[in-house]
A and B are shown apart, each in its own frame.
Chain A
Amino acid sequence: MFFFFLLPFSACNEEYRSVITINNYPSIFPDYKEVTIPYNIAPLNFRVKEEAERLIVKIKGKGPEHEFRFRGNKARFHQKDWEGIMKTSAGNDLEITVSVGHQDSLKVYKSFTIHVSEDKIDDYMVYRLIMPGFQNWNQMGIYLRELSSFSEETVINSRLLPGTCMNCHTFLHNDPQNMVLHLRESYGGTILYHNNVLEKLNTKAGKMFANAAFPAWHPSAKYIAFSVNRVNQVFHASGSFRAAAIDMKSDIFIYDIERNEMLTSPALSAGDNFETFPCFSADGTKLFYCSADSVQMPQKFQQARYSLCSVSFDPETGTIGSSPDTVLSAAVTGKSMSLPRVSPNGRFLMFVMADHGCFPSYNPEADLWMLDLENGNYEPLTILNSDNVESWHSWSSDGHWVVFSSRRENGLHSNPFIAYIDSNGKPHKPFLLPQEDPSFYDSFLFSYNIPELIKAPVKVRPYTIVKTARSSPAVQVSSGSGH
Chain B
Amino acid sequence: MRSIAVSGGWKIFYAAFSAATFIFFGVSYENHLIRMEQLQLFQTTAIYLADKLSVQGGFADYTGEFLVQFFGLPFAGAVVTGIMLSLVIILTGQIIRLVTAREPLMLFSFLPAAGWFLLLQNEFYSFSGVPGFLISLFASRFYLTLKQPSKRIFAGILLIPIVYWLTGAAYMTFVLVIVISEIIFRTKARELKPVPLAVLPAYLVIGIMVPLAARFLIIEDTLLQAYISGSYFRLSIFFPFPLVLIVISVPCFILLQEFLPFAPFAQSSLRPLRLNIISSCAIMLFLIVGILAWGDFRAEDQMEYDNLVYREKWNRIIEKAEREQPTDRLSMVAVNLALAKTGQLSARMFSLGQSEDFLFSEYERRGMTPFLAGEPFYHLGFINFAQMVAFETLESTPDAKFPSRSLIRIASTYLINGQYDIARKYLEPLSHTVFYRKWARECIRLSYREDEIRTHPVWAYMRSLSAKHDFFYNAGQMDVALRYLLLSNPRNKMAYEYLMAFYLLDRDLDSFLKYLPLTRQLNYDGMPKSWQEAAAYIATRLPDDLPQLEGFRPDQETINRIKAYADLFSGEPRDTTRIRQEYGDTYWYYLHFVK
Please list the residues of chain A having a beta carbon within 8 angstroms of any beta carbon in chain B: 131-139, 154, 157, 159-160, 162, 234-240, 242, 298, 409-413, 437, 442-445, 462-463, 466
* Interface contacts beyond A444-B425, A445-B425: sample of 10 additional A-B pairs, CB < 8 Å, sorted by A: A131-B394, A133-B394, A136-B369, A162-B237, A234-B472, A237-B473, A239-B470, A298-B472, A411-B421, A412-B422
B424 touching A442 by the CB < 8 A rule? yes
- B174 on interface, CB distance cutoff 8 Å: no
Assembled-state Cα–Cα distance A236/B383 (Å): 10
Contacts of A235 in B (CB 8 A): 384-385, 388, 472-473
Question: Does B428 belong to the interface (CB within 8 Å)?
Answer: yes
**Across the interface, do A237 and B484 meet the contact criterion of CB distance under 8 Å?**
yes
> What does DSSP make chain A's interface, helix, strand, loop or mixed?
loop
Beta-carbon contact of B421 and A131 below 8 Å: no
Task: Give A466 to B226 CA distance when docked, in angstroms.
Answer: 15
**CB contacts between A and B, total, < 8 Å:** 111
Residues of A near B236 (CB, < 8 A) are 159, 162
Question: CB-CB contacts of B206-248 with A at 8 A, as 1s and 0s?
Answer: 0000000000000011100100000000001100000000000
B466 to chain A, nearest CB (A): 7
A238–B220 contact, CB under 8 A? no
Q: Give me the interface of B with A, judged by CB distance under 8 Å.
A: 47, 220-222, 225, 236-237, 365, 369, 382-385, 387-388, 391-392, 394-398, 400, 402, 417, 419, 421-422, 424-426, 428-429, 466-473, 481, 484, 488
In the bound complex, how far is the Cα of B397 from the Cα of A131, in angstroms? 13
Chain A: which residue is nearest B410 at the CB level?
A: A445
Contact A443 B473 (CB under 8 A): no
Measured CB to CB, the closest approach of chain A to B364, in angstroms, equals 9
The residues of A that contact B225 with a CB separation of less than 8 Å are 159
Q: Which residue of B lies closest to A440 (CB)?
A: B47
Contact A154 B402 (CB under 8 A): no
Closest chain A residue, CB of each to CB of B473: A235
CB within 8 Å for A445 and B422 given contacts A234-B473, A237-B484, A242-B388: no
Q: Which residues of A contact B417 (CB under 8 A)?
A: 239-240
Across the interface, B470 reaches (CB within 8 A) one of A134, A162, A237, A411, namely A237
Q: Which residues on A sit within 8 Å (CB–CB) of B481?
A: 237
* Partner among B396, B419, B425, B469 whose Cβ is within 8 Å of the Cβ of A443: B425
CB <8 Å contact, B384 and A138: no
Asked if A443 and B429 sit within 8 Å, CB to CB, the answer is yes
Interchain CA distance A445-B424 in the complex, whole Å:
11
A38 → B minimal CB distance (Å): 28
Cβ contacts under 8 Å, B383 to chain A: 238
Distance between B489 CB and nearest chain A CB, rounded to angstroms = 12
Question: Given A138-B400, A443-B428, do A237 and B467 touch, yes or no (CB 8 Å)?
Answer: yes
Determine how close the nearest CB of chain B comes to the CB of A363; give it in whole angstroms: 15
Bound-state Cα–Cα, A236 to B472, Å: 5
B384 neighbours in A (Cβ, 8 Å): 235-239, 242
Q: How far is the CA of A239 from the CA of B484 in the complex (A)?
A: 14
Q: Given A162-B236, A242-B387, A442-B428: A237 and B422 within 8 A (CB)?
A: no
On whether the beta carbons of B221 and A442 are closer than 8 Å, the reply is no
| Chain B, residue nearest A243 (CB) | B388
B80 to chain A, nearest CB (A): 27
A413 to B391, CA, bound (A): 13
**Whole-angstrom CA separation of A445 from B391 in the bound complex:** 11
Contact A237 B471 (CB under 8 A): yes
Contacts of A445 in B (CB 8 A): 402, 425-426, 429
Question: B419 is contacted by which of A136, A236, A240 (Cβ under 8 Å)?
Answer: A240
Contact A159 B396, beta carbon cutoff 8 Å? no
- Distance from B506 Cβ to chain A, minimum over Cβ atoms (Å): 20
Asked if A159 and B402 sit within 8 Å, CB to CB, the answer is no
26 cross-chain CB contacts under 8 A: A136-B395, A136-B396, A138-B398, A138-B400, A154-B220, A157-B220, A159-B225, A162-B236, A235-B473, A236-B471, A237-B470, A237-B472, A237-B473, A238-B384, A238-B466, A238-B488, A240-B417, A410-B422, A412-B419, A413-B422, A437-B47, A442-B424, A444-B425, A445-B402, A463-B220, A466-B222
Chain A residues whose C-beta falls within 8 Å of the C-beta of B369 in the assembled complex: 136
Give CA–CA (A93, B557) in the complex, Å: 89
Q: Are A410 and B221 in contact (CB under 8 A)?
A: no
Contact with A133, one of B391, B419, B422, B429 (Cβ below 8 angstroms): B391
**Which of A237, A238, A442 has its CB near the most chain B CB atoms (within 10 A)?**
A237
Residues of A within 8 A of B221 (CB): 159-160
Contacts of B398 in A (CB 8 A): 138
| Cα–Cα distance between A154 and B468 once the two chains are bound (Å) | 43
Chain A residues near B424 (CB-CB < 8 A): 410, 442
B395: contacting residue among A138, A410, A462, CB under 8 A: A138
Across the interface, do A237 and B385 meet the contact criterion of CB distance under 8 Å? yes
Q: Given the complex, which residues of A lie within 8 Å of B400, measured CB to CB?
A: 138-139
Q: How far is the CA of A340 from the CA of B398 in the complex (A)?
A: 38
- Whether B365 lies near A135 (C-beta < 8 A) is yes
Residues of B within 8 A of A413 (CB): 422, 425
- Bound-state CA distance A162–B391 (Å) is 19
Q: How far is the CB of A210 from chain B (nearest CB, A)?
A: 18
| Cα distance A411–B423 in the bound complex, in angstroms | 11
The residue in chain B whose Cβ has the minimal distance to the Cβ of A236 is: B470
User: Distance in Å from the Cβ of A164 to the closest Cβ of chain B?
Assistant: 11
Task: List residues of chain B with CB within 8 A of the CB of A236.
Answer: 384, 470-473
Task: Determine the distance from Cα of A16 to Cα of B383 in the docked complex, in whole angstroms.
Answer: 50
- Complex CA–CA separation, A437 to B488 (angstroms): 44
Contact of B467 with A238 in the complex, beta carbons under 8 Å: yes
Docked complex Cα distance between A354 and B138 (Å): 62
A237 CB to closest chain B CB (Å) equals: 5
**In the bound complex, CA of A411 to CA of B419 (Å):** 9
* Cβ-defined contact, A160 with B469, below 8 A: no
Q: Are B385 and A136 in contact (CB under 8 A)?
A: no
Closest 9 CB pairs of A and B: A410-B421, A443-B428, A235-B473, A238-B467, A139-B400, A136-B396, A136-B395, A133-B395, A133-B391
